[in-house]
Amino acid sequence: MTRCSYRVLVGVLWVAAAIMFGAVQTAAQGDDAPRVLRTTADDAITPVIADHLKEAVGRAEDEGYDALVVELDTPGGLDTSMREIIQRFLSAEVPVVVYVSPQGARAASAGAIITFASHVAAMAPGTAIGAATPVGLEGGDVENKVINDAAALAESVARLRDRDVDFVVDTVREGRSASADEALHVGAIDVVAASLGDLLDEIDGRQVEVAPAGTTVTLRTAGAVLDEHDMGVLRRIQQTLADPNIAFLFLSIGTLALIYELTSPGIGAGGAVGVVLILLALFSLSVLPVNTVGLLLLGLAAALFVAELFAPGIGVAAAGGTAALVLSGIFLFDDAPGLEVSMAVVAPVAAVVGCAVVFAGRLVLRTRATDSTTTGPGLFIDRTVTVHHVVGGRAQAFVEGAWWNVRPVNGELQPGRARIVDVEGLDLVVEPAPDNSNDQQTGES
């Protein structure tokens, strides 16, 4: 080996060693870096948002994240859904950080109490929080006992998270709101940060108490690796449907469709559309849980497919069953990471099932439409036979490989050709065949 070649080899070895050392060091730093799970709630608080946030807390716990950050922007929502989220935040074994962002966002009504229930409450500049007074479905005032109940919950949350009790209670009783700086000044929130990166740097090293009670952890968030927990397509569709305005529309159209079906029965389109829309309306009004709606839609799809088989027509029942099957896929399956059900799978599968049912219905219809004279006793009707052995008014004829007793419709039976008009038990009822009969003669000996 020449001296030049030796130097080249040594240089290559040094470079390879440096690359390997750097890779090992980077992997070690990556393993040691804090991990934060991030999710977003930027719509009204509904059962769909509640399930999404509870699922995010569960994932953060199961996968060992250092914290969960919820970026919140909401006008409020349902009291029942708000309480589910608060309960899950209070029982979380991982720190939950609620960050009201981006600039111009708000944590109003139910969103304010959810923010107060987090381990760390943060807001971006130019955001607002408060106005948590309960309102009725029509937007009007509610009874004092409802306000007292909400105020008691807000006070309990404020004391548990060491926030300004007077401000938190006033957001419920007086509808008080505040900007980010004012909320920080009175002690209703913990941090005002211009960006998520600034927030994670700001809260690094803070100590918070998580479940079980008495467990204190120190936040490690500076330079954290961020992982996303998205809602997914199916859950976003559910959230879109969870709207009182859509519920009213569905109830109106669904009721009209059922009335139309009852007054003009036959096709089944009105019944299928009406039931589907009313189920969706009950979900929108939070009367039925998500999975219950999915199961009911799946049962409806099965019923419509069976109806298509028993009463095949132009495929209306099969089309309704296909739509119900697609909707059941939306409501039955969660968008858990790694377990998502894609609409690119749900829709084609439902379409294939619907087409298969239509095809099966056509087979049933063809079978029913087949001339009844081709099978069973009808096989012999209008056939011409030769009558043999007329003795004492009784006779026989050889038909389709067997001897049958023959008797006349009326009058006396004469040997010769006759036409079968009926079958009674094991007897063929015949009448004299016309001379110009062109009917096919049965096989006979």
Give residue 19's pLDDT.
Answer: 63
383 and 352 in a common domain: no
Separation in Å, CA 197 to CA 38, 99, 390: 12, 12, 109
> pLDDT confidence of 438, banded at 50, 70, 90?
very low
Q: For residues 242 and 383, what is the distance between their CA atoms, to the nearest angstrom?
A: 67
Report the C-alpha gap between 257 and 273 in whole angstroms.
6
- Mean pLDDT, residues 151-175: 96
Please report, rounded to a whole number, the percentage of residues in the chain having pLDDT higher than 90. 45
Interval 323-364: pLDDT, tens: 888 888 888 876 655 555 666 777 888 888 878 877 777 776
Q: Given 178, 194, 228, which residue is the final one in a domain?
A: 228
Q: Are residues 247 and 340 in the same domain?
A: yes
Tens-place pLDDT, residues 86-141: 999 999 999 999 999 999 999 999 999 999 999 999 999 999 999 999 876 555 55
In a domain, 297, yes or no: yes
Same domain, 353 and 399: no
Residue 440 lies in a domain: no
CATH number at residue 421: 2.40.50.140
| Burial status of residue 217 (CB atoms within 10 A of its CB: 0-12, 13-18, 19 or more) | middle
Q: Which of 363, 351, 362, 348 is nearest to 321 (CA)?
A: 351
Tell me which residue of 292, 327, 324, 282 sits closest to 306, measured CA to CA: 324
Report d(CA 315, CA 233) in Å as an integer: 29
CB of 428 closer than 8 Å to CB of 399: yes
Q: Range of 290's domain?
A: 235-369
At 285, the pLDDT band (50, 70, 90 cuts) reads confident
In terms of domains, do 122 and 219 share one?
Answer: yes
Residue 399 dihedral angles phi and psi, to the nearest 5°: -130, 125
15: in domain: no
Q: Is residue 249 part of a domain?
A: yes
pLDDT at 27: 46
| Structural domain contains residue 28 | no
pLDDT in tens, 53-89: 999 999 999 999 999 999 999 999 999 999 999 999 9
Q: Give the number of domains in the chain.
A: 3
With beta carbons less than 8 A apart as the criterion, state whether 159 and 230 touch: no
In this structure, is residue 21 part of a structural domain?
A: no
**Tokens, residue 137:** 């479905």
Strand partners, 41: 72
| pLDDT tens-place string over residues 316-331 | 788 888 888 888 888 8
Q: Do 249 and 305 belong to one domain? A: yes
Residues 196 and 279 in one domain: no
Q: Is the overall model pTM greater than 0.75, yes or no?
A: no
Does residue 262 sit within a domain?
yes
Based on the fold, state whether residues 353 and 241 are members of the same structural domain: yes
Residues 173, 156 within the same domain: yes
Alpha-carbon distance of 96 to 88, in angstroms, equals 10
Does some domain include residue 1?
no
253 and 279 inside one domain: yes
Residue 44's pLDDT is 94
CA–CA gap between residue 216 and residue 234 (Å, rounded):
37
Lookup: tokens for 31: 């393993």
Q: Are residues 208 and 168 in the same domain?
A: yes
What tokens appear for 128 in the block?
A: 């607002």
Q: In the listed set 188, 203, 228, which residue is the last one of a domain according to the structure?
A: 228
The residue from 323, 346, 369 where one domain ends is 369
Same domain, 217 and 260: no
**Average predicted confidence (pLDDT) for the chain:** 83
Looking up residue 116, the CATH number of its domain turns out to be: 3.90.226.10
Contact 123, 180 (CB under 8 A): yes
- Per-residue confidence at 29, pLDDT binned at 50, 70, 90? very low
- What value, to the nearest 5°, has the Cα angle with vertex 43 and ends 337 and 68? 45
Whole-number Cα distances in Å, 341 to 290, 302, 319, 344:
15, 20, 22, 8
